[in-house]
Amino acid sequence: MERIKAGDMSCFEALVDRHKNFAFTIADRILHNEEDAEEVAHDAFVKLLTSIDKFKGDSKFTTWFYRIVMNMAISRTRKKRVQTEDIDNRPAGIPGYTSFEEFGGLNLQDRSYYLNKAVGQLKDEERMLITLYYFDELDMDEIEDITKIDKSNLKVKIFRARKKLAESLRRLLPSELESIL
């Protein structure tokens, strides 16, 4: 960080390479739009560079940076409240899709499709918490630093979000839920 503050752009490029996928993933989970997520991730790196002097080192860099990404993505959702829905709720047309009848369950690609669809039905905060805890595998302390939600409240919110996720999966896949879990 000190070298970046001193103007070493090769260090900044290495930092971008290391964190760009994670920044995109967080933004995409909140926004549900790859183009918007790419823009938010890019803008977050620009903001990081312009506000690098604000990083004091009190928390981990990743916690500080992902908080920037999360805030920018949430701001984007507030500006853009248009909800879209798939024309066809079936995964037909997805490369590699196989029917349940043919194979008696879900392949990995189908599991991922339905899990992402169910996560997408959660509210913004629930989606973010599920992403940070389960997909990004952050611990409670890191999530508390990012979200500014106290740990006991955070546990309750994650529990409720997980419960809603399971309900959503039951609606999408009543008989196939067991193969996902």
Tell me what pLDDT residue 93 has: 44
Asked if residue 115 and residue 70 are part of one domain, the reply reads: no
Q: What is the CATH number of the domain that holds 7?
A: 1.10.1740.10
User: Same structural domain for residues 74 and 105?
Assistant: no
Residues 114 and 168 in one domain: yes
How many Å apart are CA 34 and CA 165, to the nearest integer? 22
**Amino acid (1-letter code) at residue 85:** E
Which pTM value belongs to this model?
Answer: 0.52
Asked if residue 161 is part of any domain, the answer here is yes
Domain that holds residue 72: 2-79
Report yes or no on 96 lying in a domain: no
Crossing angle of helices 151-172 and 108-120, rounded to 10° = 120
Q: What is the pLDDT of residue 34?
A: 92
Q: Please tell me the least confidently modeled range out of 21-25, 26-30, 173-177.
A: 173-177
CATH for 166: 1.10.10.10
Q: How confident is the model at residue 60 (pLDDT cuts 50, 70, 90)?
A: confident
**Whether residue 129 sits in one domain with residue 171:** yes
| Residue 26: both structure tokens together | 């967080």
Place of tokens 């508390």: 144
- pLDDT, tens digit, 9 for 90 and up, residues 140-159: 988 888 888 898 899 899 99
